[in-house]
Amino acid sequence: MEDFHYNPHISVDCVIFGFDDQKINILLIKRKQSGKNVFALPGDLVQKGEDLDHAASRVLFELTGLQNLYLEQFKAFGSPDRIKDPVDIEWIKSIREHPEERVITIGYNSLVKVDGFEFTPSSFAEEVLWHPIEKPQKLAFDHNDIANTGWFMLREKIKREPMIAFSLLPEKFTLRQLQTLYEAIVGISLDKRNFRKRMLRNNFLVAMEERETGVSHKPAQYFRFDEDTYREDFARDQWFLF
């Protein structure tokens, strides 16, 4: 049961996306409810007197053990019927002192590489897992809506600041790796030739002398991302395309 430290009206939900070199995954927690598995976003009530950004980091840490992620607020969800499924109502009654209170939740998102993260599920999370975003998964409450909106907002942000996506690649990468990442983000397969032709127009993508080694296919050339050129190109593109 929650204690008196919590504000029963405001919660935070974390929508964390992770790239595993092949596809984008979303971070979920699994909990047991009446003998069944229920999947949800890591989220919980804000404490009294606690800042929203702080609450997002704390809740994520308490449920999953993850720390030091850059979490960005993307939207508040306040529909009066956010909690309407009887299963969700049952859960709320079992954990909240004021289950009848309307809870507004603030969504936070983040994008990380999946490797290097170790989970420590605790509180009501029995398990923490990466779930591929392309595979549908029913989530508790309105978490499917929150997750979809979080992904949409993150993609919009990547359009404005593609550098975010490059941070998911190793320092030197092949065009195949770049295409895999790109396809994972936009969610469609692309023609290899066209992709390369268009991508190489970007001056911030710099060909290196070095090639892959120890591969059975023809070793591909490595590229690197040049942040300075990128910043110049993007500064030029601010405001009405110039």
Extract the tokens encoding 137.
Answer: 């998964």
Please give the residues from 56 up to 95 whose contact with a second copy meets the rule CB under 8 A. Answer: 73, 75-76, 78-80
Cα–Cα dist 186/182, whole Å: 6
Contact between 126 and 30 under an 8 Å Cβ cutoff? The reply is yes
Please give the residues from 210 up to 239 whose contact with a second copy meets the rule CB under 8 A. Answer: 233, 237-239
DSSP assignment of 38-59, as one string? EEE-SEEEEETT--HHHHHHHH
Cα–Cα dist 1/94, whole Å: 8
- One of 129, 182, 212, 226 touching a second copy (CB under 8 A): 182
Q: What is the CA radius of gyration of the chain?
A: 21
Cα–Cα dist 121/85, whole Å: 25
Window 105-144: contact mask with a second copy (x via CB under 8 A): -x--------------------------------------
Scanning 7-15, 86-94, 112-120, 212-220 for contacts with a second copy by CB under 8 A, the matching segment is 7-15
| Contact status: 198 vs a second copy (CB under 8 A) | yes
Enumerate binding residues for a second copy (CB under 8 A).
7, 9-10, 46, 48-52, 73, 75-76, 78-80, 102, 104, 106, 156, 158-160, 162, 165, 182, 186, 198-199, 201-202, 233, 237-242
